[in-house]
Chain A
Amino acid sequence: MSDEQAVVCEGLRYSFGDTVAVDSLDLSVVSGEVFGLLGPNGAGKTTAIRCVTTLLPVPPGTVRVFGRDAATERMAVRRLLGYVPQQLSADSGLTARENVALFARVFDVPRRERRERVAQALDAVGLTDAADRMAGTYSGGMVRRLELAQALVSAPRLLILDEPTIGLDPIARTGVWEHIMAVRAATGMTVLVTTHYMDEADQYCDRVALMHQGRVRALGTPESLRADLRARRADGSAPTLEDVFREVAGSGLVEDGGEFRDVRRTRSTATRVG
């Protein structure tokens, strides 16, 4: 693993009206690692990610992706990214192959290589046999893998996944993660992921950042975060990453964060995959 920085956020701040979603966020993701961004609903994870993906203008602060500024060099940044949003975003009116081919085209994959690259991407997520079925007939786990193929066809250096396993059954979750890890092992790409599943973060992430109310409250490897909490515990019992999360986020739910639309979106994603 090199020391090159895949993502650097400095003093990033973003607010929707009066609600400050991301508050002076400093974050750096090292090239080649799997970095988990955790936190309760409304913690600012998705907003931070949308700044990195150039979807939101970067207000105060800077965001750099492999040294490129996300505010001034948007096109250069976009070329480096693969992005899987929270919603199930494959087009159900197209076959899997057509879905992936579309992204090969919009990412300027040279015409001669397209067919080959599309086949490779589908193969990498284990969908070769179902490639010519309509995406509308896919199960939730298959749609997620298809979206992964869409994001991978451009051979991104940074893969951004926003709650990739939301609403999936345990077997489908494992399937999605195994494909992510296999591609990462083969290509050395960097993965930035948000999730609510602490067991996933513990198992697959090299480092995690726990966000709460727009700020990073804890940062480190899952092991070091657990060890830190254990040292602070009076009885010295072994905590899980979920206990760390609980301590950071507090027991109270955040009532003022997150838009209604975000919640509705999450629910509808869950409904569609369920």
Chain B
Amino acid sequence: MCAVELQKLRHDRTELYTRAIQPALWLLIFGETFTRIRAIPTGGVPYIDYLAPGIIAQSAMFIAIFYGIQIIWERDSGVLTKLLVTPTPRAALVTGKAFAAGIKALIQAVVVIVIAALLGVAMTWNPLRLLGVAAAVIFGSAFFACLSVTIAGIVLTRDRLMGIGQAITMPLFFGSNALYPVAVMPDWLRAVSAVNPLSYQVDALRGLLLGTPAHLPLDFAVLVLAAGAGITAASSLLGRLAR
């Protein structure tokens, strides 16, 4: 499944190019401006450095959270029906799709890292740490893709999924440590951040890329568990889409 998505991407790369625009703007405009304002306490790191891992996570999530749209398109076009009639287990189909989302996000992450490097963000080039970054990006995206497929399995139509997707992306993004540290949040927002997998992903990325203090074992445990739970939920609801 995963390989198929990549074949498609090879045939039509437009998606990759257009997807790169938004994170680039975040870094350039938001990042550069807030670096000058110095309004956000980042613990001695320049704000743009602090922001870069957050933008990697954010752009990966934005790709993944609308993955369910593709599933609904596949349902309407009959592709999904045909796949569900094959002996391949649903969990394998979902896992393939989830990791395809992860790979797309990874390509996106590379773009963001290159842009960040051009803007002078001091990041690690240690290959082991970069491998960790790749893993964090893939597991995070796999979770959000499965979340999206799960919602698709419940609401069943594109319009409703779009609405819900729009409604949850911003709270997930702003309710995380992507733009500002948890320490400056009001208590209720901290609670949101504590159950938000995006926060753990950003924490891991920041720790790996910038060497800021992070809770890597906890972060990865949360990401792997979340991806696992997402795959389970999505595959149990996938059959609903074919009815």
A and B interact physically: yes
Taking each of B81, B83, B242, which has the highest tally of chain A beta carbons within 10 Å of its own beta carbon?
Answer: B81
Contacts of B7 on A, CB cut-off 8 Å?
A: 94, 98
How far apart are A146's CB and chain B's nearest CB, in angstroms?
12
Residues in A neighbouring B78, C-beta threshold 8 A: 85-89
| Contact in complex: A79, B8 (CB < 8 Å) | no
Q: Are B79 and A91 interface neighbours, CB within 8 A?
A: yes
Give, as a whole number of angstroms, the nearest-CB distance from B19 to chain A. 16
CB within 8 Å for A89 and B77 given contacts A106-B83, A134-B11: yes
CB atoms of A87 and B86 under 8 A apart = no
User: With an 8 A cutoff between CB atoms, is B85 at the interface?
Assistant: yes
Chain B residues, CB < 8 A from A88? 77-78
Q: Contact between A87 and B77 (Cβ–Cβ < 8 Å)?
A: yes
Say yes or no: is B12 at the interface (Cβ < 8 Å to chain A). Answer: yes
What are the interface flags for B1-45 relative to A under an 8 Å C-beta threshold, 1 for contact and 0 otherwise? 100100110011000000000000000000000000000000000
Show 19 A/B contacts (Cβ-Cβ < 8 Å), sorted by A.
A50-B242, A55-B84, A81-B85, A83-B85, A86-B78, A87-B77, A88-B78, A89-B81, A93-B11, A94-B4, A98-B4, A103-B82, A103-B86, A106-B1, A106-B86, A106-B93, A107-B88, A108-B87, A134-B11
A-facing residues in B49-95 (Cβ within 8 Å): 76-79, 81-88, 93
Residues of B within 8 A of A (CB): 1, 4, 7-8, 11-12, 76-79, 81-88, 93, 239, 242-243
Chain A residues 40-57 with CB under 8 Å of chain B are: 50, 53-56
Chain A: CB-nearest residue to B88: A106
Report how many residues on chain A are interfacial, defined by Cβ distance under 8 Å. Answer: 31
Beyond contacts A86-B78, A87-B81: 18 other A-B pairs, Cβ-Cβ < 8 A, are A50-B243, A53-B85, A54-B85, A55-B239, A55-B243, A78-B85, A78-B86, A83-B82, A83-B85, A88-B77, A91-B8, A93-B8, A93-B12, A94-B8, A95-B11, A98-B7, A106-B88, A108-B87
Query: What sequence of 0s and 1s flags, for each residue 223-242 of chain A, a beta carbon within 8 Å of any chain B beta carbon?
Result: 00000000000000000000
Measured CB to CB, the nearest residue on chain B to A147 is: B82
Given contacts A94-B7, A98-B4, A134-B11, whether A265 and B87 have CB atoms under 8 Å apart is no
